Structure 1
């Protein structure tokens, strides 16, 4: 009879069946009489309905029934090797063997698919788990993804930074750093980075490296974990400069203040715990990748003195996939980008990650946009002509018409726009890519 007082409702979607409250007393109750309190025994404390342990049992039974009738979701992802010039990966593989005692850097450039540290975070975590490392690496000064980036809490003073980037605009012609971004303080500007518990290897740091150029004779102020203010002078002059800030121990937060207007062009910072692997996330929202040409080869070479990348990943294409039949221009412009990276980082392996499947609606069905297939072929040709490697994310997803399978997976791996991956999908992409990378590692032994 206790079931009469327990409100339960559970819907089993597959069989269109709902479990609802069954009231054994319904036939003898006066519908106008208020349901009696369950603690009607005089002299006894009120009974907690949850203590009856009926709700969990009923819901668990319903869940098991749901699982019984549910059709299993097809496995998403197809084992896909890295192809092209894989021999260039040897330098990277040799470097990670020494990652326990020396820093190894990986750059991951991409469009909005990697914003918020998506995909990159899981590649980083997998590599740091395998080879060692503790720290998020590169972070910008003024970024567009701070509201949904979960791996690091990033904030900056509003309204007193002049910011420019290759994916927005650059009215003052500021020189870009390696992330294709730049920011100039207007006075009393600040930026703050704080770790989060979301990732095992990103919970603290002991070193912050600030990158800038064209500094005035001036100083910045900084604090670790809200402690005492410290001051350090900037090095004036042209060229990319590195300022190293050391914490007394393990830190979780740093705030850097720029008190002087236009005291430097600031590119970004890197949060580290030497040694180990660092995978830097460089998202260019709405970009095809060709605008990386706006980062001069000279600047890339300057950064190479501090960040000797052993692996550079280029993941672009979605933003040019449209009603195009000829991607010759894209191959030509991306060839320039790749050659610039080769000139600046001659020992780095370069791996292209192809555009992923993207659906268009035809009648009541979602099918692969024909432009995607043409673009994947163009990217494979680009890898061949520039003598770099490529990993086909399109093929790894399952090829043509695979996006609906990712959207309808359980749990879903992509949003219902049939274009973008969600967190789970990003994790799956990273898993498929690192598996292909480690397969090459095993072959090289």
Structure 2
């Protein structure tokens, strides 16, 4: 019951007490509790700067589970050498002439006439770049595989690019628009690699996948993956175990141009025991393949077209089958997305190098892009030397498995963190970029500064404001992926332009040299033909 007394002064006392408590809390310096870094709760940030960022220990390194992801590159080389020496031959007309029983690794199915016409590119017609962030090529051999990529694009020859990354490109973010841009310029069609089965298929817009009867595992679930499957990962990062009757159907979509239809496709799988598999094209053409058991990668390569949908079914022999997925599109420019959430790149060392090499023999990658590091960066950490050493090993490992491919390290993207002054660029970015660039330079690989490209477009703050990135100020979305992809495509176009310019310069030099040689020959001929004066 109201007693008529005035208690408002107590509210002011309570408010004053609360302010006093918050002021005291803001004076507590940053500290770590149980390995978790706690920042200062500073309500006086507009008045007082405690200099916490400057006081951060610059010498501390980011924690890495290096022991868990240990790699011995010499043993990898030995394993690849043993695989190469022991590889069973393809069937021949006279199997008795070989020491090994013939094993068929490629099953071909031609459903039409494929267009193999080359369409060279006119460098003058390449789309101009508003702001160019060039690719840095640190090759010192004089025969850069990146230059070979530019030459193939210029000539209109087929080019295949693998993009290995984390959740930054999950669901075909960035790669969908890189693929579309390159295919619009250099030809080609199809969505590239799509796994046999995955819980994330619904998130990907560039292919419609329906699968049943498969149990998928990704490489970040290594410890919970059945032991017999742990040695079956290749760079896709996914393996799928089927039951008899397991099936998958992939269908092109209109989410991007040139996805549907595609001209060719291939399905990748293992069949350690005898099996029988069925493949369907456009829900109208069907063919059964009997596969003899062997411990090698298999592919069913479909050529001709058009292909609107592709299906694969394990009719018999499921216990010996491991499913990987399909690559939709085989001509022109192809871009395959191999993303695994939470992967910082070290999981590459858990893939089977022999399987990677077999995949390379079938697919023929010209460029492998490493998009990692976002999960490693931490505010206040400025020393990434230990991670840089791991990147050096990643590049070396990729080169062992994909010896003909160029390797491009994508620098980390721009990223912002919440501070007392609002969202600001993470202070670790330039140090991580220096680490990645240094690793690429040490290995003679290539490097592209993603954060600088984003910075030229206004940085993460503008990406969020424009709806190109999430409110976590870390992950871009499909709209942001389009912007970054166009910047990377511009960098590739620039390489093609320079290749065309150098080729023209060589032609002119050869033409001038030929003219000089022709003039000398003509002068000698005229001298020999001139009448001799008789004295």
Establish whether TM, by shorter chain, passes 0.5.
yes
Over 3 Å counting, the alpha-carbon distance change for 1:365 and 1:111 in structure 2 is same
Which residue of structure 1 aligns with residue 202 of structure 2? 147
1:185 matched to 2:249: no
d(CA) in 1 for partners of 2:176 and 2:251? 16
Q: 1:441 aligns with which of 492, 496, 502?
A: 496
Question: Mean Cα displacement is larger for which, 186-195 or 258-267?
Answer: 258-267
Which residue of structure 2 aligns with residue 278 of structure 1? 334
Unaligned runs of 5+ in 2: 1-129, 501-535
1:202-213 paired onto structure 2 within 5 Å: 202-213=259-270
Deviations 1:348-376 (A, max 9, x none): 21111111111111124211122223211
Checking the alignment, whether the CA contact within 8 Å between 2:272 and 2:296 is kept in structure 1 is no
Deviations 1:54-108 (A, max 9, x none): xxxxxxxxxxxxxxxxxxxxxxx95322114264411101222343xx5321111
Checking the alignment, whether the CA contact within 8 Å between 1:185 and 1:263 is kept in structure 2 is no
SS in 2 for 1:194: strand
Q: 1:168 aligns with which of 221, 228, 251?
A: 221
Which residue of structure 2 aligns with residue 388 of structure 1? 445
Q: 1:379 aligns with which of 418, 423, 436?
A: 436
d(CA) in 1 for partners of 2:131 and 2:498? 19
d(CA) in 2 for partners of 1:235 and 1:201? 36
Which residue of structure 2 aligns with residue 80 of structure 1? 133
Which residue of structure 2 aligns with residue 104 of structure 1? 159
d(CA) in 1 for partners of 2:292 and 2:390? 35
SS in 2 for 1:417: coil
d(CA) in 1 for partners of 2:293 and 2:158? 27
d(CA) in 1 for partners of 2:374 and 2:250? 30
Over 3 Å counting, the alpha-carbon distance change for 1:245 and 1:232 in structure 2 is farther
SS in 2 for 1:250: coil
d(CA) in 2 for partners of 1:173 and 1:329? 32
Greater share of helix residues, 1 or 2? 2
Deviations 1:173-231 (A, max 9, x none): 41112312211212221111011122221111343311122432121123223225431
Unaligned runs of 5+ in 1: 1-76
Checking the alignment, whether the CA contact within 8 Å between 2:137 and 2:146 is kept in structure 1 is no
Over 3 Å counting, the alpha-carbon distance change for 1:383 and 1:399 in structure 2 is farther
d(CA) in 2 for partners of 1:436 and 1:292? 26
1:303 matched to 2:356: no
| Alignment coverage as a number of residue pairs | 362
Checking the alignment, whether the CA contact within 8 Å between 1:78 and 1:398 is kept in structure 2 is no
Which residue of structure 2 aligns with residue 28 of structure 1? none
SS in 2 for 1:380: helix
Which residue of structure 2 aligns with residue 294 of structure 1? 350
Q: 1:132 aligns with which of 187, 206, 222?
A: 187
Over 3 Å counting, the alpha-carbon distance change for 1:383 and 1:263 in structure 2 is same
Q: Which has the larger radius of gyration?
A: 2
1:348 matched to 2:405: yes
Which residue of structure 1 aligns with residue 112 of structure 2? none
State the Cα RMSD in Å. 2.2
d(CA) in 1 for partners of 2:404 and 2:256? 30
| TM-score, scaled to structure 2 | 0.64
d(CA) in 1 for partners of 2:464 and 2:338? 26
Checking the alignment, whether the CA contact within 8 Å between 2:237 and 2:339 is kept in structure 1 is no
1:118 matched to 2:182: no
d(CA) in 1 for partners of 2:221 and 2:457? 33
Checking the alignment, whether the CA contact within 8 Å between 2:271 and 2:291 is kept in structure 1 is no
Displaced runs of 4+ in structure 1, greater than 4 A?
A: none
d(CA) in 2 for partners of 1:172 and 1:113? 29
d(CA) in 2 for partners of 1:366 and 1:440? 36
Over 3 Å counting, the alpha-carbon distance change for 1:401 and 1:433 in structure 2 is closer
SS in 2 for 1:109: strand
d(CA) in 2 for partners of 1:214 and 1:220? 10
| TM-score, scaled to structure 1 | 0.76
d(CA) in 2 for partners of 1:367 and 1:155? 42
1:206-355 paired onto structure 2 within 5 Å: 206-227=263-284, 229-245=286-302, 249-260=305-316, 261-272=318-329, 274-323=330-379, 324-355=381-412
The offset of 1:345, in angstroms, is: 2.4
